[in-house]
Amino acid sequence: MLKRLLMTALVSAAAYGAEPAKGKTEWTQRFKGCSVTVRTNCPGARAEIGDTVKLALAFESKNGGSVHVTLHENGNVIGEPRTVASGDCVEFERKATVPGGIFISGSILDADGKPVLTARKRRAVCGLGVLVAPEKIVPGNPLPPPGFDEFWQKKRAELDQVPIKATRREFSPPDLAETLVCYDTQVDCAGGAPVSGYLCMPRNAKPKSLPAIVVFHGAGVRDSVPRLKYAHNAIAFDVNAHGLPNGRPKKFYDDLFKGELADYRSRHLDDHEKNYFVGIYTRIMRALDYVKSLPEWDGRTLIVTGGSQGGAQSLAAAALDPQVTLCVAQVPSQCDLGARLAGRRPGGPMCRNSEETQRDPVVVRETAYVDNVFLAKRIKCPVYVSAGLIDNTCIATSICAFYNALPEGVEKHIAINPIGGHNGSPSLAGQRKIGEVLKLGE
């Protein structure tokens, strides 16, 4: 039934490149008691300027309900939402006039009008996106801010004035005390807050015997996490973004997120010297300094990884420390913060602010100091990134703008999920690469 509806709705167009999705035109997503099938006339979810992009969504549910579907172009809502009942299909059509992304996103409701939830208790979202000439997407703000390189040189010099001094409290992971050692670790840093995280590695590791991996967190306020998966084969350092003490009750972190740190992502957008992400990026540099100072580090392999805000930190780490050897950043934020100048929605967290703020010339100039599209030119190591074409938080176009800004000759890989939202668009190739480098299967 779904396929018949969609085949009636769409007429095939000429084939375009199949890079993002190997020529596919149809995907089915299944949720509790219902399913959504989406289809496009653009093979591989890829179009070129001048093409007419057609998108359709069909819905079937055993228990009734509906999907509220919205059309977006470059993150901007186009027209009014439309409702699809079970057994029906909705169609959209949009002429591609500029490089970017066109997508439909839907919120699934049950028969009582309540959101359907996933197994992880998140609202079920569905949809499909098409990239339009993604290799032509450039930053909305085309020029780095005044003194960009000098600013980060100054921050590096300030950090170098602070000795790499750590305090560590050893603890034993359950059932692994004989094979692993873990430390609740704080490292002195410039900027007013320490680096804080959990450091884990094989017990009694020999000097210069271990690669290292540093893991960064997504947005929010939370405890660090012992990365035991990596710790059997590597120095694994998981860092919380704010330099907070570890091991406190969940309420401690929740209260900070609701109170003192509630607005951290939007602080001092008009002053790069005070921007909160300057402090985060400074702690990134010190976390890497510390790992490299450990006698167990092999002096060669230094991996950084994370998703969303953790992806942004991973990109910044690769840019600000030339010894990073591999970067895996999944749906990274902090990219193309000046996108509104090109009519696009910027990547998180700037997308949380009003369009007026996004367009403000002072904000555009000052946030550019922590925009990864400008840090990209410093990266020398292989980079794996991912993007979801229905991601409304870290817009795919913002990630494409970063990807295209990487220097010529840098090994780079991008994983595009045409039906992926913010929490469902990993870089599987990047994860496999980490496993290969760290020999996780051995």
Full set of structural domains in the chain with CATH:
2-134 (2.60.40.2550), 148-438 (3.40.50.1820)
d(CA 268, CA 274): 6
pLDDT at 172: 85
Strands 66-73, 76-85: pairing kind: antiparallel
3-state secondary structure 167-188: EEEEECCCCCCCCEEEEEEEEC
d(CA 312, CA 348): 10
User: What is the pTM for the complete model shown?
Assistant: 0.94
pLDDT at 442: 67
* Closest alpha carbon to 391 in 1, 126, 61, 152: 126
Place of tokens 């929605």: 345
Query: What is the crossing angle of helices 148-160 and 276-293, to 10°?
Result: 50
Work out the burial of residue 192: count CB atoms within 10 Å of its CB; fewer than 13 is exposed, 13-18 middle, 19 or more buried: exposed
Asked if residue 66 lies in contact with residue 83, where contact means CB atoms within 8 angstroms, the answer is yes
Mean pLDDT by runs of 10 across the 442 residues of the chain is: 42 32 87 92 96 97 93 95 95 97 95 85 90 97 94 98 98 89 98 96 97 97 96 97 97 97 94 96 98 98 97 98 98 97 92 92 96 98 96 95 96 95 90 96 72
Helix then strand count (H, E) for the chain reads 11, 18
Tokens of 243: 């330099």
Main-chain phi, psi angles of 290, to 5 degrees: -65, -50
pLDDT at 121: 79
